[in-house]
Structure 1
C-alpha cells in the first residue's frame, strides 16, 4: 500500500479517496465485511499519506463514514463508565487528520487525547508512530481552525525539547512540530526562550538539509532541468525537495 500511495499524484490521490470510497468503507463496516479496527488502521494510513504528500481527501467530510466516526467519538466521550480512551484517541486521529472543518465540541474531545499521545516518550516504533499521527492531527487543527491563540504551544515546546535531547521522532514528526512552532505568529523570538529555540531550530534545519541533500541526485536534476521527473524515484525526490 505504501508503494501505491507513493505513486499517486495529486489528481490520482483525490480521485481515489473520494466520498464514494469512504461511503463504501462505511457500507463494508455496516455489512461486517470490514472490522472497525481495520477501518481505523486504513484511515490513519490515508491520513498519514495525506499529510506527507500535502494532499486533500476532500470526499471524507461529507461521507457517511465521517458522520459515523464523529458520532462514535461523541458517544464514547459521553460514557460515564468503561470509556475506551485509546479507541477514542484513534477515532480522533482518523477524523481530524482527514477533515478540514472542526466543531468546538470535536476539538474539546480530541485535543486532550492528541496531546497525551504526542507527549508519549516511550522508546518504541509503535509509540513513535502514535506521536507522529497525533502531531499530524494537531497540525491539521492549527491549519484549519480560525481561533488558534497559541493552541498547545507549551506542549509542542515540550515535544521539541524532548526530541532535541533524545532524537526519538522521525524526521516527518519533528518537521510537523517545528512547522507549528516556527509558524506561530504570537511567538516572541526576542525572548530568552525564543532565542534558545531559534538557535536549536537553525542547527536542526542544517542537519535536516544535509541529510535530505544526500537523498537527491542534484547532477541529474540539473540535466533534466525544465523536464518533469519521471517514475517512482522522481516522485520521491519531489517530496524530499518539498520538505
Structure 2
C-alpha cells in the first residue's frame, strides 16, 4: 500500500539489491584465487559503499509517485523532504552492520561516509520536491534528476581527468593538494578519498568532506524552499478561484 505517494516496493528492491551485494562481496572474498584473507575485507567494504551509494542515487527518483500533492504546511513538506533520505540510508545500515560483524571492526570513516550520503540525499530530495511541483510530467522529472546526478557524479570526474592530463599534475592520492577544491562537490569522489585514505593518505584534511556536504545541503535546501514557495503560490491561486 502506498502512503503519501511512497513506493514501498522501491525500498524493498533497494534493500534486496544491497543484500545481494553483501553476499556477492563475501563470496568473492572467500572464493578468490588467493583464498580468504581478512586483510582484503577493507576492499569489500569499499565495494559495498560504492555500490550502495550508486543504488541510493538510482532509486531516489522512484521512491514517490510523481504527483503534485499539496502540502500546505512547511512541516509536512519537510517530512517528505527528509523521509526518503532516512529510508535509503537507514535501510543500508543492517547491511553495513552485518559486514562489520564479519570484519570484526567498524572503520573510522564510516560515520563520515554516512554524513556525506545524508547530505547528498538532501540534495536529491530538494531537487525531487522542486521537480515534482514544477514539472509534473514524469519524463521531465526523471530527466532532471538523472541530469543533475550525472553532471555532479560523472561529468565532474571527466573534467577532473582532463584537468589532470592537461596540467600534467602528479596525483598520488584522491585527497591530493593538486586537485582544485571545486571538484570535491562530487560526493562520489569524496567517498573514494575516504575509502582510500588509509592507504594513500590525506593532504587536504577535512576540506573535501566540508565542501561536498555544504554544497549538497545548500543545494537541497534551496530547492526545498523553491518547492514550498511554489506550493504556497498554487494554494493562493486555488483560494482566489474558489472565492469567485
Task: Normalising by structure 2, report the TM-score.
Answer: 0.31
Query: Does 1 or 2 have the higher relative contact order (CA < 8 Å, sep 6+)?
Result: 2
Q: Which has the higher helix share?
A: 2
Structure (1 or 2) with the larger CA radius of gyration: 2
